[in-house]
Amino acid sequence: MTETLLTFEDALAGFDPALGLEVHVELNTASKMFCGCATEFGAEPNTQTCPTCLGLPGAMPVVNATAVESAIRIGLALNCEIAEWCRFARKNYFYPDMPKNFQTSQYDEPIAFNGWTEVEVDGETYRIEIERAHMEEDTGKSTHVGETGRIHGADYSLVDYNRAGIPLIEIVTKPILGTGAEAPAVARAYVAHLRELLLGLGVSDVRMEQGSLRCDVNLSLSPSGSGTLGTRTETKNVNSLRSVERAVRFEVQRHAAVLSGGGSVLQETRHWHEDTGITTSGREKSDAEDYRYFPEPDLVPVAPSREWVESLRAALPEPPRERRARLQEAWGFSDLEMRDTVGAGALTLVEETIAAGASPQAARKWWLADLARRANDTGVELSALGVTPAQVAEVQALVDAGSLNDKLARQVFEGLLAGEGSPAEIVAARGLAIVSDDGALGAAVDAAIAANPDVADKIRDGKVAAAGALIGAVMKEMRGQADAARVRELILERLA
Amino acid sequence: MIRKTAAEMAAALEAGETTSVALTQAHLDRIAEVDGEVHAFLHVDAEGALEQAAASDGRRAAGAAASPLDGVPIAVKDVLATEGLPTTCGSKILEGWVPPYDATVVRRLREAGLPILGKTNMDEFAMGSSTEHSAYGPTRNPWDLARIPGGSGGGSAAAVSAYEAPIALGTDTGGSIRQPAAVTGSVGVKPTYGGVSRYGLVALANSLDQVGPVTRTVLDAALLHELIGGHDPLDSTSVDAPVGDLVAAARRGADGDLAGLRIGVVTELSGEGWQDGVMSRFTEAVEALVSAGAEVVEVSCPHFVHALATYYLILPAEASSNLAKFDAMRYGLRVWPEGDAPSAEEVMKATREAGFGDEVKRRIILGTYALSSGYYDAYYGTAQKVRTLISRDFEAAFERVDVLLSPTAPTTAFPLGAKLDDPLAMYLNDLATIPANLAGVPGISVPSGLADEDGLPAGLQILAPAMADDRCYRVGAAAEALLAERWGGLLLDRAPDLTGASS
Amino acid sequence: MPEITRDEVAHLADLARIDLTPEELDHLAPQLSVILESVASISGVAGDDVPPTSHPVPLTNVFRADVVTRSLTPEQALSGAPEVESQRFSVPRILGDEQ
């Protein structure tokens, strides 16, 4: 079924969007939320399971202390209040990838609540109110077997419970109002901001492509200026920054079309389709899920002491905005350069590249010009490309030492992206080093002079500028790997 | 030999007068002889038990006994996970399930060297007071095979009182150790909540369940309790404190001097519905304690009258969630409904319909209702509050007295089938035992004698404050000794000899 | 008086994923009504000032250190599975949505 859409501009002319974002963050603890199983991504199926995370009869949970600490630190970084006393609760619903058929979560007593944070879009600051951040556990992963390979039309499914029980923090915003046409950009900026913040806290890998940060987008529209809240839809598992922006945009257009046509929006879950850029209807929510929450009797309450909370607060890293301001000044970036760097998710990468020895401009250049383009083309996060800041710094060091020029450096990056080894290994294997040996260069220079007698005569006559043509010929002959400065010297020596 | 107490068996093993293999074989023979009638066991592991017995004899011979009870065989209620041994919880839905891990208490038994004879019968998922709700058929009371052995742990109580095992493990959510002990003339202890690990106990109601000893004497119970009790990092609700010297408390109590002890008789746990013979034996037991120097007062616990209702809201709620995991996806029964390519949801529904018995379904539906949005506050929420009031009643009472006494169950064993289709009547069996579970305090049931009407055993319940399990043992052992003196031996000595019944 | 209708029992059975037969529905509705009527006696017993008890022993902050312990082998993990394929639990087709 094809949805009718209003143009984004028309939608905004008649309606005010209200956003709500629910972000699930997988913590990077070594062990799971309630048992000692490892959390390694990509392990062989069902090798990281035990009676507890498999939900075997009789098994019991025990809370991971580091997960609680991470939850509190996230709460503090989002300016939340930290509960003095809170409990876990069971969220009861049946689903084959959920071993106990209840999720151990938190209900009306989240560990962190009433926070706020700020994001910037085009120089404008938006304050996002945080409703809550609570602790819960992840589910297993199903693979659907059948012709389609998707859940619909599958013959049966295969379940791997390695992911079941990995600690999750769910961060929920209050309705975000007043963003108007910037709603998609604000949604994206918020998720990008959260990623940066979580990365800074060191509590998660925040890899959207691996699912360690997942976003559900709630959206509703109300008639412009009415100040009411419309019926919302919840679009699940929007798993890239770009998709967050696109999903908001799509839902705004879709809701607007429904409402403008005199219809009413169905309160439901929507599925985001990355490939086609649309959402489709999921399960209706009007039949309100009855999760039958009640306090988890197998876990005792969490009552973080104020001393603990304050010591965690004191040890929080610098907030992203302050950090950005500090780095911008230190690096001498323009506002535009800084915005591009942050927007590409390259801030920490650039910082680490500079720490590894590269100049700020060089670090920025490689990450933003070349690597960001590649990340965009392949649809992965910059940090997931497989190129490390240390490698970028190493390539730049080779450029600085005269062993590579920019053109050759790009070929080294090709090699890095192809997984051919370290920069030094790629230079050796691909034979990319600049040749500055006089023997090899001399022969090429002599050949160029012999082949271009007219040019040679001009240089002999004192028209030194003409040397460029001969240099070009030598470079072409040596597939770009000649040391251009030395070639020039050799030409001028011979034709002096 | 099988009629000795576990303490005596341990002494005989220590003295080299017998071997664990001989002891274990004697019990396996007894099981072969009488369990066709009693049906206390769902699974007997002769081979495994004898292997463990041989290993125990090796340790004893080397002078390296792993524990005081090393080599004394034991039976384990089928609600506790045993690696390599089937664990069904008396349910079809878990038929054939063999856990890949041991419950902490089972691990402690193995480490202490007790050969595990097998798994005992129970009401399905411990829901019941008669063991008639087992999917594998009822257990019968060794005193009268036409009667129930109590429940849910009728299998463990019957195994012990029929001399099929010297000791057993039970679990008690609302009386499932104490009420069977009372109606089979044996001893049963529900420890303080958190005193014994629940890891590996297939939960009925997590905030009420406790594992405890099922034995023929108070001393045996203390020996077993010390062995299984104590902190377990795998159970978050486990109390990180020493178990206490329970054996010493039992020995001290058996001396029969209770001078200075204040006992309270709970007003609310008597009256209408309490069998005369049960009340007579209870009164005599209290008098015996008073004769040994105890002071007795009557104590009112006004909210106890609401305990049953509170319990039947909290338990089904927790149980409905606990039992959701039995869904045919990862283990246990899988039933395919008719029709083309049924979905996971349809398979779940068909499996749970076929795999659960009536009482389990009844309680799941009740619990689902009590937790439903719109009803939570009225039912579950209110029950949790009344639970607080019941705990406060205990606190107030224990300011005045050291222990509280009541009959363990209102009646003696009733005939099989008598209350099967009257859930409310069945629930009334646990009237006296439930308050302790709601408050988390410990309780013991010891035999108080035979009721005049039917000649069947009745029980005396002794309740103590949380973490004061030693008081249960002291007073229990005193009552046991004082009454045994009167009877000229343990009450169980008067039970019929089943070998005649089976031939 | 709380009463639980046959339709309500059917809805609850659906929530609890039990495919009750029509006979069971007929039987259960009045039975549950009787039980509910009996347990409803506690309404009004506790005032608003009474805190609920969810845990009988007042413990807080029971945590484990974030240390990896040994998992089951996949053979153990899958040992009870009704069906296994490719070291995964094979389950019937899943209707509805990913959570």
Cα-based torsion angle of the residue sequence A41, A43, A49, A53 in order, rounded to the nearest 10 degrees: 20
Give the single-character DSSP code of B272. Answer: T
Cα-based torsion angle of the residue sequence A480, A481, A485, A486 in order, rounded to the nearest 10 degrees: -130
B313 in contact with chain C, both atoms CB, cutoff 8 A = yes
Look at C88 and A45 and tell me if their CB atoms are within 8 Å. yes
Among B67, B77, B130, B238, the active-site one is B77
Quote the minimal CA–CA distance from B167 to chain C in Å. Answer: 28
Terminus-to-terminus CA distance in chain C, angstroms? 38
Give the single-character DSSP code of B193. Answer: T
Look at A62 and B97 and tell me if their CB atoms are within 8 Å. no
- Cβ contacts (< 8 Å) between A290 and chain C: which residues? 15
Active site residue B372: no
A227 in contact with chain C, both atoms CB, cutoff 8 A = no
Check: CB of residue A245 under 8 Å from CB of residue A187: yes
pLDDT digits (tens, 9 = 90+) for A244-280: 999 999 999 999 999 999 999 999 899 999 889 999 9
Structure tokens at A43: 């392990």
Report in angstroms the alpha-carbon separations of B439 from B187, B194, B467.
21, 12, 12
A154 in contact with chain C, both atoms CB, cutoff 8 A = yes
Chains that touch A (3 or more CB pairs under 8 A): B, C
Helices (H) and strands (E) in chain B, counts: 17, 11
pLDDT digits (tens, 9 = 90+) for A158-205: 999 999 999 999 999 999 999 999 999 999 999 999 998 998 899 999
Task: Report yes or no on whether pTM surpasses 0.90.
Answer: no
- Cβ contacts (< 8 Å) between C92 and chain A: which residues? 156-157
Report in angstroms the alpha-carbon separations of B317 from A221, B207, B322.
39, 11, 9
pLDDT score recorded for residue A284: 58
pLDDT score recorded for residue A256: 95
ipTM: 0.96
Beta strands B262-266; B295-299: pairing state: parallel
Structure tokens at A70: 């991470």
- Cβ contacts (< 8 Å) between C52 and chain B: which residues? 381, 384-385, 387-388
Quote the minimal CA–CA distance from A302 to chain C in Å. Answer: 5
Structure tokens at B310: 């509170």
Partner-chain residue, chosen from A37, A46, A297, that has the shortest CB–CB distance to C54: A297
Active site residue B152: yes
In the structure, what pLDDT confidence band is assigned to residue A427 with cuts at 50, 70 and 90?
confident
Across the strands, what pairs with B401? none
Check: CB of residue A31 under 8 Å from CB of residue A39: yes
- Chain B segment 34-93 residues within 8 A of C by beta carbon are none
pLDDT score recorded for residue A484: 81
Structure tokens at A445: 């220079």
Residue of chain C minimizing CA distance to B369: C12
Active site residue B77: yes
Report in angstroms the alpha-carbon separations of A73 from A64, A127, A166, A217, B49.
15, 20, 18, 24, 52
- Chain A segment 103-142 residues within 8 A of C by beta carbon are 139, 142
A157 in contact with chain B, both atoms CB, cutoff 8 A = yes
Look at A36 and C69 and tell me if their CB atoms are within 8 Å. yes
Look at C42 and B352 and tell me if their CB atoms are within 8 Å. no
Residue B395: pLDDT over 60: yes
Partner-chain residue, chosen from B94, B205, B324, that has the shortest CB–CB distance to A102: B324
Among B91, B161, B176, B445, the active-site one is B176
pLDDT digits (tens, 9 = 90+) for B219-262: 999 999 999 999 999 999 999 999 999 999 999 999 988 999 99
pLDDT digits (tens, 9 = 90+) for C29-88: 999 999 988 888 898 899 999 999 999 989 999 999 999 999 999 999 999 999 999 999
A236 in contact with chain C, both atoms CB, cutoff 8 A = yes
DSSP assignments along B131-144, one per residue: STT-TT----BTTB
Mean pLDDT of B350-357: 98
pLDDT digits (tens, 9 = 90+) for B451-499: 999 999 999 999 999 999 999 999 999 999 999 999 999 999 999 988 7
pLDDT digits (tens, 9 = 90+) for A135-159: 999 999 999 888 766 666 778 999 9
pLDDT score recorded for residue B21: 98
Structure tokens at A354: 């500079």
Across the strands, what pairs with A482? A435
Helices (H) and strands (E) in chain C, counts: 3, 3
B70 in contact with chain A, both atoms CB, cutoff 8 A = no
Residue B503: pLDDT over 50: no
